[in-house]
Amino acid sequence: MPTVLVTGCAGFIGSHLCQRLLADGFRVLGLDNFDPFYDRGLKERNLRTLLAQPRFTFRELDLRAGAAALETAWPDPTDTPDVVVHLAAKAGVGPSVQQPLAYLDNNVLATGHLLEWLRQRGVGRLLFASSSSVYGNTRRLPFNEDEQLQQACISPYATTKLAGEELTYTYHHLYRLNVLNARFFTVYGPRQRPDLAIHKFARLLRTGQPIPVYGDGSTARDYTFVADTVDGVVRGVRYLLAHDGVYETVNLGNNRPVPLLELIQAVATAVGVEARLQFEPMQAGDVDVTFADIRKAQQLLGYAPQTSLADGLRQFVEWLDAQGE
């Protein structure tokens, strides 16, 4: 069975992906730098079940250390991955507005180091985790992968993700790297980062605090349950393994934007309390709507999200209960 290297393996999506890959019989190499954006203990908890698996190997590593550090981490040629899934990145649109250079360092420079290691090591397949934020406030809905995105990005985070896509194209063009860029759309579910809206809303609701509403509540996001996103990624891994000469970009979304006020009501229903709202000005860098055109992912990968918002929120709240939150 092929070997997959997952960067950012201890995070929300990364830990779910590793779990799924192991269940499907893959051998998995995982790396993470435990970026302090949120509590290291949460990521270590995500890793526990993975570390017990004999086909999983973990290294703590910061990609900013360069290609040589990756070579030191996995010097054995038998540890050369067949595919790399690059999830590692400094996350969050809002914080990137305050720390743009940190995002360039972690998301662009680090990606360059990884790509250079792939070239030197002879690894020929990469799935790069991009973001719906690259579309900015593009007016054509739903967002299509063919959209021209010059001057579309309105946050440093979005800019770094689009820069990552440009880097992957360069390595495809020059060094024949097979690439699938997967643009994620607001992933949620068990293990979601504590700073993200659904997790934050549930916590506030349970403690009787008001929910901050930025703008008039009409902004909308294409919320995608983590198992559906992971299924798309695994399908992408299998696609890369089966094809050569690949350079593709796909949306992994749910194809249904949910307005903010509707989301708050859905989270309140899942938690079982009434929501109190506190209206605030729009935040810098936030886009008005995200809406994935998923036809290409359906045709190319057989991608078909299955989880309704209500069911996904139910599973998320059950996970919160199990964590004692």
Residue 50's domain comprises 3-186+226-255+293-306
- Does residue 103 have an active-site annotation? no
Phi/psi region, residue 66 (left: phi>0; alpha: psi -120 to 50; beta: rest), is left
> For residue 208, is it within any domain?
no
Matching residue, tokens 């996995």: 74
Q: Helix 309-323 and helix 197-206: axis angle, to 10°?
A: 60
Q: Which residues of the chain have pLDDT under 50?
A: none
Q: Quick one: pLDDT at residue 325?
A: 63
Smallest Cα–Cα separation from 137: which of 249, 220, 195?
220
Rounded Cα distance between 290 and 262, Å, is 15
CATH of the domain at 23: 3.40.50.720
Instruction: Indicate which residue of 38, 103, 135, 157 is catalytic.
Output: 157
Rounded Cα distance between 264 and 223, Å, is 13
Tens of pLDDT, residues 87-104:
999 999 999 999 999 999
> For residue 315, is it within any domain?
no
Q: Quick one: pLDDT at residue 286?
A: 86
The total number of structural domains in the chain stands at: 1
> For residue 325, is it within any domain?
no
Q: Quick one: pLDDT at residue 197?
A: 92
Smallest Cα–Cα separation from 134: which of 119, 113, 155?
155
Rounded Cα distance between 28 and 22, Å, is 7
Angle (CA) 266-134-306 rounded to 5° is: 40
Q: Quick one: pLDDT at residue 279?
A: 92
Q: Quick one: pLDDT at residue 38?
A: 86
> For residue 68, is it within any domain?
yes
Assigned token pair, 188: 């949620």
> For residue 266, is it within any domain?
no
Q: Helix 309-323 and helix 260-271: axis angle, to 10°?
A: 50
Q: pTM of the predicted model, to two decimals?
A: 0.96
Assigned token pair, 204: 């506030």
> For residue 25, is it within any domain?
yes
Smallest Cα–Cα separation from 181: which of 167, 166, 165, 170?
165
- Secondary structure letter of residue 37 according to DSSP: T
> For residue 316, is it within any domain?
no
> For residue 197, is it within any domain?
no
Q: Decide: 229 and 187 in contact? Cβ < 8 Å.
A: yes
Rounded Cα distance between 4 and 28, Å, is 5
Greatest Cα pair distance, the chain, in angstroms, is 57
Q: Decide: 168 and 177 in contact? Cβ < 8 Å.
A: yes
Q: Decide: 58 and 246 in contact? Cβ < 8 Å.
A: no
H helix intervals, the chain: 12-23, 40-51, 67-73, 93-98, 100-103, 110-121, 156-175, 197-206, 226-242, 260-271, 295-301, 309-323
With H, G, I as helix, E, B as strand and everything else as coil, classify residue 306. coil
